[in-house]
Amino acid sequence: MKRLLGLGLAVLMGLASFTPASAFSDTGSHGWALVDLSLSNGPGAAYGPAGSIAENSAIRVLRCQVNWCLVDSGPERGWTSRQSVGFGKTPEGPLFSIQPNYPAGGPGSVCFYEGRNFSGASLCAGPGQVFTDLKLYGHDNRFSSVEITGDVSVAACRDRGFQSYCERIIESQPVMDQYLVRNLSSIRVY
């Protein structure tokens, strides 16, 4: 009897600690619902409904295609229009637009490190190098710090193909911005 009572108490405590925030995916990029989101079971209007997310809600953007993004917020998960998703620090933006015509810098290099304070495994690149999808190199959402040496800068983005929140980094950061730390998926070095 004591075992059953103990087990029942453990289950209740586990359920009490479960909140919608803890139901977020562990992967993906932070984002915002810019409007009330209608979610679908697939990337297109032909798919059936999968739920909804209220405007200005924090969401996780799991992946995007040209016009659709797979998002979740607590128990709700589905595809929605990419135009309805914000990638900035707040629901209003900004979305940094990557401008490929910046002049190349150099000489110099940019090194991203998995650990804070320039520690752990790293990926280094020079002017003109572009990584549109760090997952292809085994480095998606892994970096915590960036070291810049010489006359270079880098556009660092949270999603593949420079599709989401990005920052232009011009000096070393022992800990990257909270919206990029362990959320980096594409980079372009200038």
User: Where does the pLDDT of residue 21 fall: very low under 50, low under 70, confident under 90, or very high at 90 and above?
Assistant: very low
Strand partners, 68: 81
The residue that leads in pLDDT, 64 or 2, is: 64
Question: What per-residue confidence (pLDDT) applies to 156?
Answer: 92
Question: What per-residue confidence (pLDDT) applies to 5?
Answer: 42
CA distance 169 to 131: 15
> Which residue type, as a one-letter code, is found at position 20?
P
The residue that leads in pLDDT, 176 or 103, is: 176
Model's pTM, two decimal places? 0.57
Question: What per-residue confidence (pLDDT) applies to 25?
Answer: 57
Task: Summarize the confidence of residues 143-150 as an average pLDDT.
Answer: 96
Among 6-10, 64-68, 145-149, top mean pLDDT goes to: 145-149
Q: Answer whether residue 53 shows pLDDT above 90.
A: yes
Question: What per-residue confidence (pLDDT) applies to 87?
Answer: 74
CA distance 189 to 156: 9
Question: What per-residue confidence (pLDDT) applies to 10?
Answer: 41
Question: What per-residue confidence (pLDDT) applies to 101?
Answer: 56
Q: Answer whether residue 140 shows pLDDT above 80.
A: yes
Domains in the chain with CATH codes: 20-86 (2.30.30.40), 108-189 (2.60.20.10)
Question: What per-residue confidence (pLDDT) applies to 97?
Answer: 53
Given a contact cutoff of 8 angstroms between Cβ atoms, the answer to whether 116 and 146 are in contact is no
Scanning 23-91, the segments in alpha helix (DSSP H) are none
Strand, helix or coil for residue 18: coil
